[in-house]
Amino acid sequence: MIVDIREKDEFRRKHIPGAIPWPLSEIQSGNTLYTFPAQSPVIFHCQVGSRTQQNRAALAKTVDGGEFVLLEGGINAWKQAGLPIVKNARQPLPLMRQVQITAGTVVLVGVIAGYNLHQGFFLLSGFVGAGLLFAGISGWYGMANLLAKCPEIASSKNKAGQNTMIHLQFIPKARCY
């Protein structure tokens, strides 16, 4: 069984066929959505492998003492190994990438305008930096909340999580626990 711990918007845009979407945010909040069969290991993956490594203890709790595997390199390594992925480019970019693009654009515009038009525009870059600092400390992401309310960014519901299970013959660099 393959479990994708990325957020739902990331899953909708690209995922491993047959993977079950179970976002890390739901795992960390204690939601027990799935009961895993004891006879086979559960394979957890994220985008590049860092989320699974950093949250190994929380993932271990979800399998209740059973065997589990962390896919090193995540879905990127899976794709690089030439294994199939389901991709839906019509889905919007993941929300956090949209936040990064927006924040980077506002900071860049503030710096360029500060040098070329008026020094007051540097405050725009400072405001975005302060917002990112606050988000990192508090866990409240104002820009993400604002972007999520935009109708053209709102993600649509689909049945991507209802794929059938596939049998794996090759897993790129996986660690069993």
Q: Which residues are catalytic?
A: 46
What is the helix, strand, coil percentage profile of the chain, to 5? 45, 10, 40
Q: Which of 144, 143, 145 is nearest to 127 (CA)?
A: 143
First to last CA, the chain: 15
d(CA 140, CA 84) in angstroms, rounded, equals 35
Inter-axis angle of helices 95-116 and 122-138, to 10 degrees?
150
CA atoms of 87 and 162, how far apart (whole Å): 15
Element at 24 (helix H, strand E): helix 24-28
Q: Which two tokens stand for residue 176?
A: 């069993």
